[in-house]
Structure 1
Amino acid sequence: MSIVRVAVAILQRPDGQVLMADRPAGKPWEGWWEFPGGKIEAGETPHHALVRELYEELGVKVEKAYPWLVRRFEYPDRHVELHFFIVREWQNEPHGCEGQRLSWQSPSALTVQPVLPANEPILAALNLPPVYAISNAAELGKQGFLDSLKRALDQGLRLLQLREKQLSLDDLRRLAEQVIAISEPYHARVLLNGDIATAREWGFAGVHLSSDKLMTLSERPQDMLCAASCHDAGQLVHAQSLGLDFAVLSPVLPTLSHPGAPVLGWDGFAGLAQGSSLPVYALGGMQQAYIEQAWQHGAHGVAMMRGIWAQA
């Protein structure tokens, strides 16, 4: 069966709501809800198809669209390759040029049903924030880190990795209890950089695997978020094959912790991240100011160990 290539738009407002449309009468899967977009014609790039389809379907002119994910899905009657873009700026108010209904939706609380099966994992990915913080109690000290964490949560941080390799297991557990307690009122999700069983036992929202642990894994845990550190194409491909929730790809830029080490650079990062089926965060020398650049190169966002706490 041949593969139909499709450009798909996630039109996203500043408040995080995304635009969904229903399939109009007379089309396959009539009445099901999906993200707008359409078939990539011969000779078109995915971006060109996206711009054309949004004008034809919604009457909008795209100003800023960022490459995001590429996913394949097998329907009973066809196989599709979906090229997703996050569209954050456009001209004109969207309207259903083909008679389709439109609805702005929160990815975490849909009020429209049914949704095309291919879009369900996309909604989960959209619930990941653009910033992924990594703890740094080793440099800040325990209390200094906890104080910085509270300020960062006040400023909107909602995803954190607890990574403190220097601590004993008992000290790590005590710190984990405090971090989870501080983060819980903000509905921030905390992942443990460690093993799956410990993350589950200690009540973390998920686990973050080192690249070595990733490559030994044959099946992901289903009852928690699961992320991994990747440094090359093989590791990223394995993370995708396991269906992890997201990956961190590094190092993009030089870092204080690894001075003189080879880096990917933005072009190297894009060469690996663009086309990924799962969200990828850029790590290594990152700052909040680099989010736009990360989006342009296919990242979901940026991961920071020092940059996030310097701002908090």
Structure 2
Amino acid sequence: MNKNIFYNLVIKNDSNQILLLKDNNLHSENWNLPKVYFVKNENKLKILNQYLDNKILISKNNIAPWINYNEKDKTFILLRIINYNNTNISSIQSNQFCQWHNLLCFDINNFSPVVKRSMKCLTIPDVYGITNIQNIQNTKLFLYKLEQSLDSGLKLIQFREPNLLECNNISSKKNIINNIFSQVYKLCKQYQSQLLVNSIHGFELCKLSDGMHMRSVDAYRYKSRPKIMHNKLLGISIHNRQDLNHAILLEADFVVLGSVLYTETHPNNKFLGWINFSNIIKNTEIPVFAIGGQSKELKDIAISFGAHGIAGMRNIIT
């Protein structure tokens, strides 16, 4: 057993709360994630259920790899417990007590470093919608679909409209993009959702939005996180492990990997499949969205292969 490897359990319920614990010790100040050690070749499910004293029952269908990271001489491996919604738990072990903490309002000073990092990642929604207006005549219908999706809980959207850039008149092109972006942004703010702008549209719109989503080709133009992204979200599209490593170098908040499955958007492209997807993101330290053939019905499958969540156009904004 390597004592420097820590397996932390991220248990989140449908009320956007995370389960944390601390020792029954007057001197214990920091809240921590439930933590368990595994010996090589041990039955992880059995050990997990023993540790949790069967108060939180774990099966192979609701435990998933998530993110790993190194801090000094320690490696933290975070496992997500999915589809768990029992809030009636006050303790796991006799020397510890538990409490549910809201992800959106907490005092960061009272949490351990691993919890702070987990919470930052968990505040990123697990469904990522991408606009697909294509031409100006579709704007009204798209805005209707977007509002329906926002009303149903969609919290993270990317404005990406390369086809709207095909107008020959540069002045008209800019006005069209700005006008449609303004309408999309207004709707997102109405529903307290975040809107990122694809790098194909440049930094001008990014300044007006909640962040930027970079194409992989654009990401390679930078060796560090752009200063303009301070206090904004940075997402990056990737296609392989090299792209992922570069995104980590740029301190991206998340990445999007695909295409995982067949997609009508890129019908001639080879798709990765879930095994290749899982191998590429293995031991990653930032959240990864799966894209390509994704739908809300596939979200739990994506998560089971290590994804943070799913991204897409037609099946997400409907």
Structure 2 equivalent of residue 125 of structure 1: 121
CA distance in 1, matches of 2:108, 2:295: 37
Partners of 1:6 and 1:80 within 8 A in 2: yes
TM-score, normalisation: structure 2: 0.86
CA distance in 1, matches of 2:23, 2:151: 40
Whether 1:235 aligns to 2:243 is yes
What is the CA-CA distance between 1:150 and the residue it aligns to? 0.8
Of 199, 204, 228 in structure 2, the residue corresponding to residue 198 of structure 1 is 204
TM-score, normalisation: structure 1: 0.88
SS at 1:187 equivalent: coil
What is the CA-CA distance between 1:98 and the residue it aligns to? 3.8
Whether 1:68 aligns to 2:41 is no
CA distance in 2, matches of 1:198, 1:49: 52
Whether 1:149 aligns to 2:146 is yes
Of 107, 110, 113 in structure 2, the residue corresponding to residue 114 of structure 1 is 110
Structure 2 equivalent of residue 85 of structure 1: 79
Worse-superposed segment, 256-265 or 227-236: 256-265
Worse-superposed segment, 153-162 or 168-177: 168-177
Of 159, 163, 166 in structure 1, the residue corresponding to residue 163 of structure 2 is 166
CA distance in 2, matches of 1:101, 1:238: 40
Whether 1:54 aligns to 2:58 is no
Structure 1 equivalent of residue 182 of structure 2: 177
SS at 1:32 equivalent: coil
Partners of 1:3 and 1:81 within 8 A in 2: no
Partners of 1:192 and 1:208 within 8 A in 2: yes
Task: Show structure 1 runs of 5+ residues with no match.
Answer: none
Whether 1:292 aligns to 2:300 is yes
Partners of 1:158 and 1:188 within 8 A in 2: yes
What is the CA-CA distance between 1:275 and the residue it aligns to? 1.7
SS at 2:293 equivalent: coil
Quick one: which amino acid aligns to residue 21 of structure 1? L
Task: Show structure 2 runs of 5+ residues with no match.
Answer: 165-172
Structure 2 equivalent of residue 22 of structure 1: 22
Worse-superposed segment, 282-291 or 61-70: 61-70
Partners of 1:199 and 1:206 within 8 A in 2: no
SS at 1:103 equivalent: strand
What is the CA-CA distance between 1:176 and the residue it aligns to? 1.2
CA distance in 2, matches of 1:150, 1:219: 35
Structure 2 equivalent of residue 282 of structure 1: 290
CA distance in 2, matches of 1:241, 1:49: 35
What is the CA-CA distance between 1:196 and the residue it aligns to? 6.4
Q: CA RMSD in A?
A: 2.5
Identity, % of aligned pairs?
Answer: 25
1:191-270 alignment, distance < 5 Å: 191-194=196-199, 197-201=203-207, 203-220=208-225, 221-270=229-278
Partners of 1:23 and 1:34 within 8 A in 2: no
Structure 2 equivalent of residue 33 of structure 1: 31
CA distance in 1, matches of 2:264, 2:180: 24
1:294-309 alignment, distance < 5 Å: 294-309=302-317
SS at 2:15 equivalent: coil
Q: What are the superposed Cα offsets for residues 121-167 of structure 1, whole Å, 9 maximum, x if unpaired?
A: 21111112221000000168111111111111111111000000122
CA distance in 2, matches of 1:272, 1:210: 18
Quick one: which amino acid aligns to residue 86 of structure 1? R
Partners of 2:52 and 2:93 within 8 A in 1: no
Partners of 2:5 and 2:76 within 8 A in 1: yes
CA distance in 1, matches of 2:69, 2:90: 25
Structure 1 equivalent of residue 192 of structure 2: 187
What is the CA-CA distance between 1:30 and the residue it aligns to? 3.4
What is the CA-CA distance between 1:292 and the residue it aligns to? 1.3
